[in-house]
């Protein structure tokens, strides 16, 4: 099996794996937000940026190569990641103490893990109306980080195409793919993959928000770096007779 170096540690990889896939499978965490092990990476958030042979690149889209020297856990890169997290907080209305997703939110957990202690930027306070038209699902567009996971899940897994992105630059936003623009006028269901994959508090199931108290949620007890390693796909171990 071929290998590359990640912060001095030898990381084995299989043909077709990216740097982040191989790293997570080997038990080495690289911070990330838009990457999801069930979907082909597209490198939109840049939180997984590493230095590969001295050049910055997204670890989720970089094919693993034998002999590659990758740096991830450096103060320079973590400063960059902290800035990106601060920008994402500033671009949306992320008020963690009152958010139903608190404790289960990947963006919040990344902030804790990276030691983000200040806002860093003036908040935009975007005014995007909440869509409460569906009987079981609430949409808060103000929290969207444009990871596109719900778009891809709805298309590739659910086969429905409920969500899409519209606009360019600062005007880019998540929309509902219905003539009315209302979630109630789609065939989405609470069991859809698109509802499950949202890493922040955009897509919320109604009437279940605080059944698990804050303090007992996914990232409350253990940091996201530990959780991500547990979630990483690994080859099954072969038992010897």
Residue 130 neighbours by CB distance under 10 Å = 12
pLDDT at residue 233, as a whole number: 63
pLDDT at residue 238, as a whole number: 34
Q: How far apart are CA 204 and CA 209, in angstroms?
A: 8
What is the span of the domain harbouring residue 66?
2-73
pLDDT at residue 169, as a whole number: 86
Closest by Cα among 163, 152, 156 to 187? 163
Q: If the chain, 241 residues long, is cut into consecutive pieces of 10 residues, what is the mean pLDDT of each piece?
A: 94 96 94 93 93 97 97 97 95 90 95 92 87 97 95 96 94 95 97 96 94 92 85 50 34
Q: How far apart are CA 154 and CA 165, in angstroms?
A: 13
Q: Locate 130 and state its tokens.
A: 């909440």
Alpha helix stretches (DSSP H) within 100-231: 106-114, 149-156, 193-197, 218-221, 224-231
Contact of 45 with 20, CB cutoff 8 Å: no
Rounded to two decimals, what is the model's pTM? Answer: 0.91
Whether 108 and 217 map to the same domain: the answer is yes
DSSP designation for 12: E
Domain of 10, CATH number, reads 3.10.20.740
Q: Classify residue 48: in a domain, yes or no.
A: yes
Whether 44 and 132 map to the same domain: the answer is no
Query: Any idea which residue has 């360019």 for tokens?
Result: 168
* Number of compact structural domains in the chain: 2
> For residue 171, what are the contacts with CB-CB under 8 A and spacing of at least 6?
none
Q: Classify residue 231: in a domain, yes or no.
A: no
pLDDT at residue 239, as a whole number: 35
| Cα torsion through 223, 227, 229, 235, rounded to 10 | 170
Whether 204 and 118 map to the same domain: the answer is yes
Domain of 111, CATH number, reads 3.30.70.20
Whole-angstrom CA distances from 82 to 50, 186, 192 are 14, 37, 32
Whether 112 and 68 map to the same domain: the answer is no
Whether 51 and 120 map to the same domain: the answer is no
Whether 161 and 67 map to the same domain: the answer is no
Q: Locate 1 and state its tokens.
A: 């099996």
């Amino acid at each position: 099996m071929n290998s590359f170096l990640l912060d001095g540690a030898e990381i084995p990889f299989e043909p077709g794996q990216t740097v982040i896939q191989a790293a997570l499978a080997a038990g080495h965490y690289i911070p990330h937000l838009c990457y999801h092990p069930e979907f082909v990476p597209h490198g939109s958030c840049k939180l997984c940026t590493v230095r590969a042979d001295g050049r910055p690149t997204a670890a989720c889209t970089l094919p693993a190569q034998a002999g590659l020297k990758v740096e991830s856990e450096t103060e320079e890169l973590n400063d960059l990641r902290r800035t990106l997290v601060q920008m994402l907080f500033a671009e949306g209305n992320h008020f963690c103490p009152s958010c139903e997703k608190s404790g289960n939110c990947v963006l919040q957990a990344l902030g804790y893990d990276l030691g983000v202690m200040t806002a860093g930027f003036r908040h935009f306070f975007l005014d995007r109306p909440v869509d409460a038209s569906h009987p079981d699902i609430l949409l808060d567009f103000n929290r969207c980080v444009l990871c596109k996971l719900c778009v891809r899940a709805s298309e590739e897994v659910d086969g429905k195409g409920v969500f899409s992105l519209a606009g360019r630059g600062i005007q880019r936003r998540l929309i509902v793919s219905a003539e009315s623009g209302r979630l109630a006028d789609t065939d989405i269901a609470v069991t859809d993959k698109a509802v499950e994959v949202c890493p922040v508090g955009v897509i919320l199931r109604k009437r279940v928000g605080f059944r698990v108290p804050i303090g007992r949620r996914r990232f409350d007890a253990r940091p996201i770096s530990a959780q991500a390693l547990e979630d990483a796909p690994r080859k099954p171990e072969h038992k010897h007779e």
